[in-house]
Chains A and B, each alone.
Chain A
Amino acid sequence: MVRFKSRYLLCEVCVSNPSDLRLLDERAVFFAVKAAVSRAHGDYGTALIGMCFSVKYLNAHTGVVFLRCRKSHYRMLWSALPFISSLESRGQRVPCFFNCLHVGGTIRTCQKFLIRYNTQQLHRLLPRCRSDKERSEVRKAVLSCSLKVFRNDEEEDDEDWGGEEVAE
C-alpha cells in the first residue's frame, strides 16, 4: 500500500496593522483560500483541491499558517495564493496577503524551517531595541523559554512575538 503524498505550504499572512492578526482563525483562512482557488481555477480546480485540503496550524501571533494539500495539485493551490487580498473573519474584512516561505513534503521539515526562520527574525529584530534594558529583557525572556525541557515550535513563535512587541 502506498501512502498518499501531500505537500505542506508554510505561509505567512502579512497585514498592515499587526493587531489585526489576532482576528485570524482557521476557518477564515480555509474559506479564503478555497474561494481564491475557485476564482482562479474554476470548478475543476476547486474539486481537485477540495480532496485533501486543510489548514493544519495557525499561529495568530506571528501569522504563520500551514496549508496541506495533495502533492499532485499543490501548484494549483500555490498559484491561486497571490490572488488573496483580504480575509473575512468575525464579520470584519482584514486586508492582507499570503507570502509563501517554504514548501515541504512533511510537516516535520516545515517545523524545522519555521524554527530556523523565527530565529532569523529574532536576530533581525534585536538591533531595533532602543535601550540596553530592553535588549536584556528580551534576552531573559528568550532564555527562560528555551531552558524548558519540553520544547515545541509554538514556544519558539512566542519568543519571536515577544521580541517584536518590545521592539515596537
Chain B
Amino acid sequence: MAAFADLCISGTNDKKRLQSIIETAAHLGYSTVAINHLVEVQPKKQEIGKPKCVSELFDHFPIVQGRSRPIRVLNRLTLVVSDTSHFRQTADFKFYDIIAIYPKTEKVFHAACMSCDVDIICIAATEKQPFHFKRPPVFGAIERGVFFEISYAAAIKDSTMRRYTISNAISLMETCKGKNVIVSSGAEKPLELRGPYDIANLGLLFGLSEGDAKAAVSANCRAALLHGETRKTALGIIRTVKKSQPADEREDKEAPPSKKAKLDAM
C-alpha cells in the first residue's frame, strides 16, 4: 500500500499556521504534503521567485500517525494561465518539486494536456468549469502521465462551491473514467483537512470507483511526485547532484583507476 499524500496545502507567510496545518496532516496519517505557491501568469515577464526552504519550518518534523518516519514536505508551484502564449518554462521551475497548471480556457487546457511540461492539471472548484472536457486532450494527458486534481477545501466551506466541485468532478470522470485523478485538500486552515480514508470515501461522491478513490489519495499522488522528479533528471535516467568539495575529492580517490579511464575514453 502506498502511503497517503496531500499535494496541495496553501502556502502562507504565516509560519505558525503552516506548522499547525502540517502537524494536523501528520496526525491524520499523511506521509507527504506539498506547500502550494499560487502564481497568476502575466503576459509581461515576471519573477516567480524561490520558495522558502522547507527545513526552516521545523527543527524536528512531526512523526506520521501509524508510522515511524517523519512527514515529508515539498514545494509546489501552481500557475494560473489564461492564454497559451503566457506559459513559458523558466529557470525558477527547478526550485519546485511539482508544477501544476490551472487552465482558464479550453485552448490552455488542450495545450496543458498535450504539450506543456507539467505534472498536475487543476480542475475548477470555485466556479462552473467554463468548458467541456473533450476526449482527445484528456486521453493525451493520461498517456503522458499528467494528473488531474480536484481540491475539496472549497466544497467543505460552502454549499454552492460544493455543487460546483461535484459537478465539475463528475463531468471530468465521465471523460477520464476515473484514471489519473488525484484528490487534494487546498486547505488554508488546519480544520479544513480531512483524513485520507474520509477522502477516499468522498471520492464516491465525485464519481470515482472504490479502488480509484483510494488510488487518488495514495498511488496516484506518488506517481505525480515521481513525474515531477523526472524533470530534474535527463530523460529520467541520469541525475546530477552537487556535492560539497571534500566529499567530491574523496570519491575521486576511491574510484578505481581503470573505471575512470574507461569513462574518459567514452
Query: Could you mark each residue 28-39 of chain A with 1 if its beta carbon is under 8 Å from any beta carbon of chain B, else 0?
Result: 000000000001
| Chain A residues with CB below 8 A from B2, complex form | none
What are the 6 closest A-B residue pairs judged by CB atoms, nearest first? Answer: A99-B195, A82-B194, A78-B201, A82-B198, A79-B205, A100-B198
A85 touching B191 by the CB < 8 A rule?
A: yes
**Nearest chain B CB to A86's CB is how many angstroms away?**
9
**Nearest chain B CB to A76's CB is how many angstroms away?**
9
| Chain A residues with CB below 8 A from B27, complex form | 14
Question: How far apart are the CA atoms of A85 and B162 in the complex, in Å?
Answer: 13
Known: A75-B204, A79-B204. A16 touches B190 (CB 8 A): yes
Q: Name the interface size band of chain A.
A: 20 to 34
Residues of B whose CB lies within 8 Å of any CB of A are: 20, 24, 27-28, 63, 65-66, 152, 155-157, 159, 162, 190-195, 197-199, 201-202, 204-205
Any chain B CB within 8 A of the CB of A95? yes
| Chain A residues with CB below 8 A from B194, complex form | 82, 97, 99
Which chain B residue shows the least CB distance to A127?
A: B63
With A16-B191, A98-B198 already in contact, 18 other A-B pairs whose C-beta atoms are closer than 8 Å: A14-B27, A39-B159, A40-B205, A75-B201, A81-B198, A82-B152, A82-B156, A82-B199, A83-B155, A85-B191, A96-B191, A97-B192, A97-B194, A99-B194, A99-B195, A100-B198, A124-B63, A124-B65
Residues of A whose CB lies within 8 Å of any CB of B are: 14, 16, 39-40, 75, 78-79, 81-83, 85, 95-101, 120, 124
Q: List 6 A-B contacts (CB under 8 A).
A: A40-B205, A82-B198, A83-B162, A85-B157, A99-B28, A124-B63
**Nearest chain A CB to B142's CB is how many angstroms away?**
26
A100 touching B195 by the CB < 8 A rule?
A: yes
B204 touching A97 by the CB < 8 A rule?
A: no
B197 touching A100 by the CB < 8 A rule?
A: yes
| Chain B residues with CB below 8 A from A101, complex form | 195
| Chain A residues with CB below 8 A from B205, complex form | 40, 79
| Chain B residues with CB below 8 A from A83, complex form | 155-156, 162
A99 touching B198 by the CB < 8 A rule?
A: yes
| Chain B residues with CB below 8 A from A120, complex form | 66
Question: How far apart are the CA atoms of A79 and B198 in the complex, in Å?
Answer: 7
| Chain A residues with CB below 8 A from B195, complex form | 99-101
Question: How far apart are the CA atoms of A83 and B156 in the complex, in Å?
Answer: 5
Question: How far apart are the CA atoms of A83 and B28 in the complex, in Å?
Answer: 16
**Nearest chain B CB to A32's CB is how many angstroms away?**
14
Known: A79-B205, A82-B202, A120-B66. A97 touches B159 (CB 8 A): no
Question: How far apart are the CA atoms of A165 and B202 in the complex, in Å?
Answer: 34
Question: How far apart are the CA atoms of A101 and B29 in the complex, in Å?
Answer: 10
Known: A14-B24, A97-B191, A100-B195. A79 touches B156 (CB 8 A): no
| Chain B residues with CB below 8 A from A124, complex form | 63, 65
Question: How far apart are the CA atoms of A101 and B24 in the complex, in Å?
Answer: 15
Known: A85-B156, A120-B66. A79 touches B190 (CB 8 A): no
| Chain A residues with CB below 8 A from B190, complex form | 16
Of the candidates A79, A95, A96, A99, the one whose C-beta lies within 8 Å of that of B201 is A79
Which chain B residue shows the least CB distance to A95?
A: B191
Question: How far apart are the CA atoms of A98 and B20 in the complex, in Å?
Answer: 17
| Chain B residues with CB below 8 A from A14, complex form | 24, 27, 191
Question: How far apart are the CA atoms of A149 and B52 in the complex, in Å?
Answer: 55
